[in-house]
Amino acid sequence: MTSATLFGLAGAALVGIGLFGMLVRTDPLLRILCFNLLGGGVFLVFGAVARRGAGAGFGGDPVPQAIILTGLVVAFAATALAVALVLRLASAEDKR
């Protein structure tokens, strides 16, 4: 087994762990956290695909690598919005 396959399998396991957490945890903040665990797994599977595509003097296929980079930033933006929604919900509850 190559190390790319190993990290790909780890990514698959992380998707399972993250999804389980999202469905079982009840604290909204922990759900957001588990969503990020899941996201890390998806990126890692894609990273394994990029590593397998190494060639032409590059250590990995640069196209999936660039898409992962884009995905990381978008995942952060989504996380920030979700956290802002949770905080707003809590402050609305606080006033009641």
Partner 1 sequence: MIADLLLVAAMLIVALASMLARQAFTAVALFIAYGLLLTLAWVRLAAVDVAMTEAAIGAGLSGVLLLGAVRRLATQASPPPEQPPGPAMTLLIALGCAALAAALGAVVLLLPNPAPSLAAPVAANLPATDLGNPVTGVLMSFRALDTLLESAVVLLAVVCVWALTPEGGWGGVPGAAQPVQRDGPLALLARALPPLGIVIAMHILWVGADAPGGKFQAAAILAAMWLLPWMAGLVTPPPIAARWLRWTIAIGPVVFIAIGLAGAVIEGAFLAYPPGWAKPLILIIEFILTASIAVALALLVIGTPDTAQRR
**Interface positions, 8-27, toward partner 1 (CB under 8 A):** 8-21, 23-27
- Is residue 51 a contact residue for partner 1 (CB under 8 A)? yes
Residues in CB range of 8: below 8 A, 6 or more apart: 44, 45, 47, 48, 49
- Is residue 48 a contact residue for partner 1 (CB under 8 A)? yes
**How many other CB atoms are there within 10 angstroms of residue 85's CB atom?**
12
In the complex, the smallest distance separating the C-beta of residue 31 from partner 1, rounded to whole angstroms, is 10
- Is residue 35 a contact residue for partner 1 (CB under 8 A)? no
In the complex, the smallest distance separating the C-beta of residue 59 from partner 1, rounded to whole angstroms, is 3
CB 31 within 8 A of CB 21: yes
Near partner 1 in 57-96, by CB under 8 A: 57-63, 65-70, 72-81, 83-94
Reduced to 3 states (helix: H, G, I; strand: E, B; else coil), residue 61 is coil
Angle, alpha carbons 56-59-65 (nearest 5°): 105
In the complex, the smallest distance separating the C-beta of residue 35 from partner 1, rounded to whole angstroms, is 11
